[in-house]
Amino acid sequence: MSISRPIPPLPSPDAAVFLDFDGTLVDLARTPDSVVLPPELVPVLRSLHILLDGALAIVTGREVAVVDRYIEPLRLPCAGTHGAQRRDGRGVYISSPATDPTKFVDAIVQLAQDNPSIFMESKKCSIALHYRADPTLETLCLQAMQELLLDHPDWTLVRGKYVVEVLPKGASKGAAIKAFMQEPPFKGRRPFFAGDDLSDESGFGVVRELQGVGIKVGAGMSIARHRIDSVQDFHRWLHKACAQLQAMRKKEVMR
């Protein structure tokens, strides 16, 4: 379902831009490893990072190291595993206290072995169960994860597109954006956040509190005030953002 929303404004030089990865910067794919980065994406992110004086961060469910690998040689500030990991604007890593999910591994491996269509993704601060290959397994995955957490009150569940994950309680994309916004080079800027999935809603909430701009990419209900229909349209928006920031900088220099 696509709900009509205003086209988002472009960021001005005093903006802080936060970007989700899967479904926003790259199209969703059959498995986590099969996403394809369009070749022009890294150069546009690099330009944006420079034009915003460093105030550009990736806020994702992926591990920070995985994002680094996709966008190398670029190293951006990044909140990974839905905010359970964070590398700030100075390049310093911050991790949430309950970070070791290995206690869940045995039970989850068993479930994946019993159901070959389920894919288990093991991350530093989380384990994800993917059921994209057989969406009828959603309830099974969800119930199994809920049962696992009964004895672990420090952990919570986060749901996404054909995926359910365990996550340290308190970690969220919203909390990560809030933390970035208290530090240089983000502090004092107007936040923009673009995302496509359920876990992005906490980010939209924080951006709204801070009078910023929330951009939902693709279909689905969202509290974001703005919407862009597809990953490709979002890439066009990023290019326009760069062009406008470059033009503004040129004007400033010529004054």
Q: Does 60 bind ligand L263DTV3 (CB under 6 A)?
A: yes
| 53 touches 185 (CB < 8 A) | yes
Q: Residue 55 — φ and ψ, nearest 5°? A: -85, 60
DSSP SS3 for 48: helix
Distance between CA atoms of residues 109 and 223, nearest Å: 35
Nearest to ligand L263DTV3 of 130, 245 (CB atom): 130
Segment interacting with ligand L263DTV3, rule: CB under 6 A, options 4-12, 24-32, 134-142, 175-183: 24-32
Residue whose structure tokens are 């995926």: 163
- Report how far residue 205's alpha carbon sits from residue 224's, in angstroms, rounded to the nearest whole number: 8
Look up residue 215 and give its amino acid: I
Among 51, 98, 128, 194, binds ligand L263DTV3 (CB under 6 A): 128
- CA-nearest of 110, 16, 25, 100 to 57 is 16
Pair 111, 144: CB distance under 8 Å: yes
Query: Which part of the chain contacts ligand L263DTV3 (CB under 6 A), choosing from 16-24, 69-77, 85-93, 94-102?
Result: 16-24
Q: Report the residue from 28, 74, 133, 248 that binds ligand L263DTV3 according to the rule CB under 6 A.
A: 28
Kindly tell me which of 35 and 243 has the beta carbon lying closer to ligand L263DTV3.
35
Q: Which is nearer to ligand L263DTV3, 28 or 50 (CB)?
A: 28
Annotated catalytic, 114? no
- 17 within 8 A of 192, measured Cβ to Cβ: yes
Whole-angstrom distance, CA of residue 215 vs CA of residue 228: 7
| Options 18, 21, 155, 186; binder of ligand L263DTV3; rule CB under 6 A | 21
- Which of 3, 29, 94, 157: binder of ligand L263DTV3 (CB under 6 A)? 29
142 contacts ligand L263DTV3 (rule: CB under 6 A): no
Residues numbered 203-222 forming contacts with ligand L263DTV3, rule: CB under 6 A = none
Active site residues: 20
